[in-house]
Amino acid sequence: MRCPGGANGAEKMYRRVKENRVPSWGAGTRPEGSVRAIIIDGYVDEPACFGVPPYVSPYVRYCAGVLLSRGYDVDYVTCDQWRGARRETDETIASSGIAVVITGLTVPGRYRGGSPLTLRELTSIAGMRRKGVLMVGGPIHNGYALRGGVRARRVRIDGVDCVAAGDPEATLDTYCATGEWVDSAVRRYDWLDGPRGIAPLGAGILKCHPSYPDVIAEMELSRGCDRVASSRGRCVFCAEGSGVGYEERGAEGAAREAEAVAAAGVSAFRLGRAANILAYGGEMERGVGFRPNASRIEELYSGIRRAAPSLKVLHADNCNPASIAGFPDESGACLNVIARLNTEGDGLSLGLENLDPEVWRANGLKVSMKEALLAVRVINEAGGARRTPRSLPSLLPGLNFLFGLAGESGQGLEWNTKFLETLLDEGLAVRRINIRRAIVFPGSGLERALESNAPRLRERDYSRWRRWVREVVDPAMLERVAPDGTILRDVIAESRVGSVVFGRQLGSYPPLVGIVSGSLGVRERTDVTVTGRGGRSLTAVRRPLDINAATAAELMALPEIGRARAEFLMSRAPYASADEVKKTLSEMDSPGIAERLAKYFERA
């Protein structure tokens, strides 16, 4: 692959995919004129698929695989790059035979890695003069909204040749083969992972991402909602199960794509394109759900490990807590496998939404409060241990609460509060807590449910509860997950504000880390040691801290070190050994301080 301007060069704001290009094509598979194509990554955020940097969604990789298999030269640009080099990118779009935009949000949040494409920007792209065709794919076909708590707008844009309501890669492949647009085209996994190798072929596009190699490949395991096997049915706001039935990908196909991703130089994977990791390989029991199968989970994880032996991140995302409540023993066995074969700091998202029994019944939610507590306990038991004394826990739950549901009231806040207080009292840990507002999509079950059962929750009560979670629960959980002295490896610096550099690890919902450092550069990787925390973020210093080169600000970031003690430590420099540092610390008027702080200066 040749990326103009170098792998991370800013002088060329788009990237051309050359590697693995198929040099020949069958009759009728290449349109007349230009064989140049461009993919504009407008980012996606769905319940079971994330594609905002540093995550790269399967959509763009699969579309790249289709185009490469059909003989196209493929350019790739993120919407952030397009904004930064609009004239140059617009020229590429205008001259391409095919332009593909992937975009859409069904569970929007706050993003640090990039800003999703807006409808106005999409309209601008569609309205430009160009020689080729334009296809739009992704969850945008459900409707458009950039934040929760609103009704999504139906998307009708002049200048778009096709809005793919099915699988964009299948729609694109059909057009390349026949010249006809079939907006509802759907593919199967034997096509995705079959002889043409669409998924592995498209992995090469990862080299062209502006953050390469510091990206996460969002990997697909299944699609559709696993609750098709449950007598409770689906949640009224469900978008994952609305288009296709439940279908799973073979472990061999996932491993082949992981091998191609690793060959492209990417070492971070998240098994996020799945509604429920515990359903994978399970046996359907009608009316109950999928009985988890630990041997199939082990086959999946072991296969990826063998295919990408140098991986640094192997995380997952979604887990249906009802699977744990219905099959606690089988689920525990699966969770033990995941906690053994993943990488530290992993988290499983539990869609609790609202624990009020009335809201639970009105919206077809997954679990009661009793079942939710069981799910959190089982995950903590399986994954709460640390591989080393100062690493992050192997596997913890993440909690998702959703507001704007049918029939919700202040009573739901009381149930949610009781649940979280129980977790605090029992010493259980959660990786993070997401609080979102539902988007109401046209024609959705939620839209119909709200018509007859409107929410009765007062905004001030919601705001007060949210503030309590952020100010009381989050800090307590963060201290359990990453107490002082915890080592975080390969933190990537993202921005600097004064003497503090903000960064994150690659992984599933990593906490923001404020690193007190005068020398750390943006995009640089470093290991850090946690020194404290705020509401939802950590403070840290580089590891090990070189006391002979440390600034007063870095020393003052350590627990128990104020300006006077920092100046005292600096006055004794240089130090020839760690023992000399401990000796100086022991001279301070705080018993045991040398033992408490020595870990920040040790290399081991």
Token pair 């196909």 in the structure block, residue:
253
Measured between alpha carbons, how far is 370 from 383 in angstroms, rounded to an integer? 20
Measured between alpha carbons, how far is 301 from 298 in angstroms, rounded to an integer? 5
Contact assessment for residue 432 and residue 509, using Cβ atoms and an 8 Å cutoff? yes
What is the Cβ-side half-sphere exposure of residue 211, based on CA atoms within 13 angstroms?
21
Mean pLDDT, rounded, of the chain? 89
Instruction: Give tens-digit pLDDT for 130-142.
Output: 999 999 999 988 7
Measured between alpha carbons, how far is 267 from 312 in angstroms, rounded to an integer? 5
Is the preceding peptide bond at 475 cis, omega within 30 degrees of 0?
no
* The pLDDT value given to residue 30: 45
CA torsion, points 541, 545, 547, 553, in degrees to nearest 10?
Answer: -10
393-396 long-range contacts (CB < 8 A, ≥24 apart) are 393/344, 393/345, 393/429, 393/481, 394/339, 394/340, 394/342, 394/344, 394/346, 395/335, 395/338, 395/339, 395/342, 395/346, 395/347, 395/348, 396/346, 396/347, 396/348, 396/429, 396/430, 396/431, 396/481
Q: State which of 192, 225, 255 marks the end of a domain.
A: 192
**Is 379 part of any domain?**
yes
**Is 577 part of any domain?**
yes
Instruction: Give tens-digit pLDDT for 287-333.
Output: 788 999 999 999 999 999 999 999 999 999 999 999 999 999 999 99
Instruction: Give tens-digit pLDDT for 1-26.
Output: 334 333 333 233 334 444 433 322 22
The pLDDT-based confidence of 242 (bands split at 50, 70, 90) is: low
Same domain, 493 and 477: no
Least confident piece of the model among 195-199, 306-310, 320-324, 595-599 = 595-599
Measured between alpha carbons, how far is 550 from 517 in angstroms, rounded to an integer? 8
Which CATH number do you get for residue 47?
3.40.50
Q: How many helices (H) and strands (E) does the chain have?
A: 21, 24
Beta pairing partners, 435: 401
The first and second tokens of residue 163, run together, are 């809005």
Token pair 């060069």 in the structure block, residue:
9
Same domain, 78 and 105: yes
The first and second tokens of residue 416, run together, are 């949610």
Same domain, 61 and 131: yes
**Is 197 part of any domain?**
no
* The pLDDT value given to residue 90: 94
- Element (DSSP H or E) covering residue 463: helix 459-468
- Element (DSSP H or E) covering residue 66: helix 58-69
Amino acid at 208: C
DSSP-derived 3-state class of residue 568: helix
The pLDDT-based confidence of 240 (bands split at 50, 70, 90) is: low
pLDDT at 68 over 70: yes
Structure-model confidence comparison of residues 290 and 147, the more confident one: 290
- Element (DSSP H or E) covering residue 553: helix 552-556
Contact assessment for residue 325 and residue 276, using Cβ atoms and an 8 Å cutoff? no
Same domain, 384 and 456: yes
Which CATH number do you get for residue 268?
3.80.30.20
* The pLDDT value given to residue 23: 29
Same domain, 317 and 445: yes
Same domain, 408 and 546: no
Q: State which of 138, 160, 192 marks the end of a domain.
A: 192
Beta pairing partners, 195: none
* Domains of the chain: total: 3
- Closest alpha carbon to 573 in 552, 558, 591: 552
Positive or negative CA dihedral for 406, 138, 297, 381?
negative
Instruction: Give tens-digit pLDDT for 549-585.
Output: 999 999 999 999 999 999 999 999 999 888 888 899 8
**Is 101 part of any domain?**
yes
* The pLDDT value given to residue 95: 94
Same domain, 172 and 62: yes
- 42-75 residues labelled b (16+ CB within 10 A) or e (exposed): bbbbbbbbbbbbbbbbbbbbbbbbbbbbbbbbbb
Task: Return the ∠ at Cα 282 (arms to 280 and 284), rounded to 5°.
Answer: 120
The first and second tokens of residue 352, run together, are 């609790």
Same domain, 468 and 499: no
**Is 141 part of any domain?**
yes
Measured between alpha carbons, how far is 555 from 570 in angstroms, rounded to an integer? 9
* The pLDDT value given to residue 236: 78
Q: Over 469-528, what HEC string results?
A: HHHHHHHHHHHHHCCCCCEEEEEEEEEEECCEEEEECCCCCCCEEEEECCCCCCCCEEEE
pLDDT at 535 over 50: yes
**Is 202 part of any domain?**
no
Same domain, 568 and 443: no
- Closest alpha carbon to 542 in 572, 518, 566, 510: 518
Instruction: Give tens-digit pLDDT for 451-469.
Output: 899 999 999 999 999 999 9
What is the Cβ-side half-sphere exposure of residue 535, based on CA atoms within 13 angstroms?
8
Same domain, 178 and 309: no
Same domain, 232 and 275: yes
The first and second tokens of residue 359, run together, are 């809201």
Amino acid at 481: V
**Is 111 part of any domain?**
yes
**Is 243 part of any domain?**
yes
- 549 lies in which domain range? 487-600
Same domain, 329 and 229: yes
pLDDT at 402 over 70: yes
Task: Report the share of the chain in percent with pLDDT over 70.
Answer: 92
Q: State which of 465, 481, 497 marks the end of a domain.
A: 481
